[in-house]
Structure 1
Amino acid sequence: MNSILISLAPLAPYLFSFLVLLLFLEQISYLNKKKGVPGPAFVFPFLGNALPLVRHPTKFWDLQSALATSSGRGFSANYIVGRFILFIRDTELSHKVFANVRPDAFHLVGHPFGKKLFGDHNLIYMMGQDHKDLRRRLAPNFTPRALSTYTSLQQIIILRHLMHWERLASQRKHEPIPLRFLARDMNLETSQTVFVGPYLGREGRQRFNLDYNFFNVGLMKLPIDLPGTAFRNARLGVDRLVKTLAVCAEQSKARMEKGRQPSCLIDFWMQETVRELADAVAAGSPAPAYTNDLEIGSYLFDFLFAAQDASTSSLLWAVTLLDSHPEVLAKVREEVESIWSPESDSLITAEQLGRMKYTQAVAREVVRYRAPATMVPHIAAEDFPFTETYTIPKGTIVFPSVYESSFQGFTEPDRFDPDRFSEERQEDRLCKRNFLAFGAGAHLCVGQRYALNHLVLFMAMFATLLDFKRHRSDGCDEIVYVPTICPKDDCMVFLSKRCARYPILSLD
Structure 2
Amino acid sequence: MASFFRSAVSPSSHPSPQQAAAAAVAAAGDAAVKNLSSTFRLPFASLWSQSAAPLSGQRAAAQAAAAAQAAALAHKEAAAAAVHASRQSTYNTLFTILAVVATILITEQVLYRRKKAHLPGPTWTIPIIGKFADSLRPSLEKYQAGWNSGPLSVASVFHIFIVIASSNEHTRRILNSPMYAEPCLVASAKTVLCADNWVFLNGKAHVDYRRGLNTLFTRQALATYLTIQEKIYRSYFAKWLADPSPAPTPYMMHFRDLNMETSLRVFCGDYIPDEGAKQISDSYWLITVALELVNFPFAFPGTKVYKAIQARKLTMKWFEHTARESKKRMAAGEEVTCLTDAWVKAMIDAREGSDKLADESRKVLVRDFTDREIAMVLLSFLFASQDAMSSAVTYLFQHMADRPEILRKVREEQYRIRGADLDAPLTLEQVDDMEYTKMTVKESLRVKPPVIMVPYVARKPFPIDPSYTAPKGSMVIPSFWNSLHDPNVYPEPELLRPERWMEGKDSPAELNPKNYLVFGSGPHYCIGQQYALIHLTAVLGTASVLMNWEHEITPLSEQVE
Shorter-chain TM-score above 0.5: yes
Q: Give the SS at the match of 1:367.
A: helix
1:208 aligns with 2:268: no
Equivalent residue of 1:469, what SS? coil
Partner SS for 1:386? strand
Per the alignment, residue 222 of structure 2 pairs with 147
Contact 1:116 1:235 in 2 (8 A): yes
| AA in 2 matched with 1:212 | Y
Question: Structure 1: how far apart are the matches of 2:509 and 2:212?
Answer: 28
Aligned partners of 1:256, 1:41: CA distance in 2, in Å? 61
Q: Number of residues paired by the alignment? A: 461
The answer for the alignment partner of 1:415 in structure 2 is 495
Structure 1 equivalent of residue 313 of structure 2: 239
Q: Report deviation, 1:21.
A: 1.1
Q: Is 2:197 the counterpart of 1:122? A: yes
Q: Is residue 389 from structure 1 mapped to residue 467 from structure 2 by the alignment?
A: yes
Residue of structure 2 equivalent to 1:468: 549
| 1:69-468 to 2 correspondences below 5 Å | 74-100=151-177, 104-168=179-243, 170=244, 172-173=245-246, 175-220=247-292, 222-225=295-298, 226-276=300-350, 291-340=369-418, 343-408=421-486, 409-422=489-502, 424=504, 429-468=510-549
Could you say which residue in structure 1 is the equivalent of 2:58?
Answer: none
**Residue 54 of structure 1 aligns with which residue?**
136
Distance apart, 1:250 and its partner CA: 2.0
Shift of 1:246: 2.2
Distance in 2 (CA, whole Å) between partners of 1:48 and 1:84 is: 9
The 2-side partners of 1:342 and 1:448 are apart by: 31
2:417–2:430 CA contact under 8 A, matched in 1: yes
CA gap 1:473/1:80 in 2 versus in 1, 3 angstroms: same
Instruction: Map 1:5-84 onto structure 2 (within 5 A).
Output: 10-68=92-150, 74-84=151-161
Question: d(CA) in 1 for partners of 2:340 and 2:273?
Answer: 15
Whether the 8 Å contact between 1:410 and 1:431 is mirrored in structure 2 is: no
Counting aligned pairs with the same residue, the percent is 29
- SS state of the match for residue 94, structure 1? helix
Q: 1:314: Cα distance to partner?
A: 1.0
Alpha-carbon distance in 2 for matches of 1:25, 1:255: 62
- 8 A Cα contact 2:251 2:394, kept in partner: yes
Q: CA deviation at 1:295?
A: 2.1
Cα separation, 1, equivalents of 2:458 and 2:147: 20
Using the alignment, how far apart are the partners of 1:370 and 1:44 within structure 2?
A: 32
Aligned-pair distance for 1:201?
1.1
> What letter corresponds to residue 166 of structure 1 in structure 2?
L
Higher alpha-carbon deviation: 108-117 or 11-20: 108-117
Distance of aligned partners of 1:294 and 1:9 in 2 relative to their CA distance in 1, 3 Å threshold: farther
Which letter maps to 1:197?
G
Deviations 1:348-374 (CA, angstroms, capped at 9, x unpaired): 111111111100110111111111111
Asked whether the 8 Å contact 2:188–2:305 carries over to 1, the reply is no
**Separation in structure 2 between the aligned mates of residue 342 and residue 458 of structure 1, nearest angstrom:** 19
Question: How far 1:115 sits from its partner (Å)?
Answer: 2.4
Query: What code does the residue aligned with 1:350 have?
Result: L
Q: Gaps spanning 5+ residues in structure 1: where?
A: 69-73, 280-286, 481-508
Residue identity opposite 2:303 in structure 1: T
CA positional deviation for 1:224: 4.1
Residue number in structure 1 paired with 2:24: none
Farther-moved stretch of structure 1 (445-454 vs 401-410): 401-410
- Contact 2:443–2:498 (CA under 8 A) maintained in structure 1: yes
What letter matches 1:218 in structure 2? A
Structure 1 equivalent of residue 35 of structure 2? none
**Which range is displaced more, 377-386 or 237-246?**
237-246
Task: Quote how far apart the aligned CAs of 1:387 are.
Answer: 1.7
Contact 2:155 2:163 in 1 (8 A): yes
Q: Secondary structure at the match of 1:467?
A: coil
User: 2: distance between equivalents of 1:341 and 1:86?
Assistant: 53
C-alpha separation in 1, matches of 2:204 and 2:317? 26
How big is the shift at 1:276? 4.7
Structure 1 counterpart of 2:116, one-letter code? K
Q: Which amino acid aligns with 2:124?
A: F
Report Cα offsets for 1:189-212 as digits up to 9, x if no partner. 000000011111122112211220
Q: Deviations over 1:136-189 (max 9, x none)?
A: 111221111110111111111011111111222x2x22x101110000000000
CA distance in 2, matches of 1:347, 1:322: 24
Read off the aligned partner of 1:217 and give its amino acid letter: V
Contact 1:121 1:295 in 2 (8 A): no
How many angstroms apart in 2 are the aligned matches of 1:251 and 1:403? Answer: 43
Contact 1:243–1:294 under 8 Å retained in 2: no
Q: Distance in 2 between matches of 1:26 and 1:289?
A: 50
Supply the AA of the counterpart residue of 2:467. T
* Superposition TM-score, scaled by structure 1 size: 0.86
Contact 2:230 2:425 in 1 (8 A): yes
Task: Give the conservation status (yes or no) of the 8 Å contact 2:504–2:510.
Answer: no
User: What code does the residue aligned with 1:369 have?
Assistant: V
Cα distance between partner residues in 2 of 1:377 and 1:290: 32
Structure 2 CA distance for aligned equivalents of residues 184 and 245 of structure 1: 20
- The residue that corresponds to 1:491 in the other structure is none
Give the CA RMSD over aligned residues. 2.3
* Between 444-453 and 410-419, the greater mean CA deviation after superposition: 410-419
Q: What secondary structure does 2:269 align onto?
A: helix
In structure 2, stretches of 5+ residues that fail to align are: 1-82, 354-364
Distance 2:352 2:433 in 1: 41
Q: Match of 1:330, SS?
A: helix
- Letter of the structure 1 residue corresponding to residue 165 of structure 2: I
**TM-score normalised by structure 2 residue count:** 0.78
The alignment partner of 2:424 has SS state of coil
User: Which stretch has the larger CA shift, 447-456 or 293-302?
Assistant: 293-302
The structure with the larger Rg is 2
2:172 and 2:257 mapped to 1: Cα distance? 34
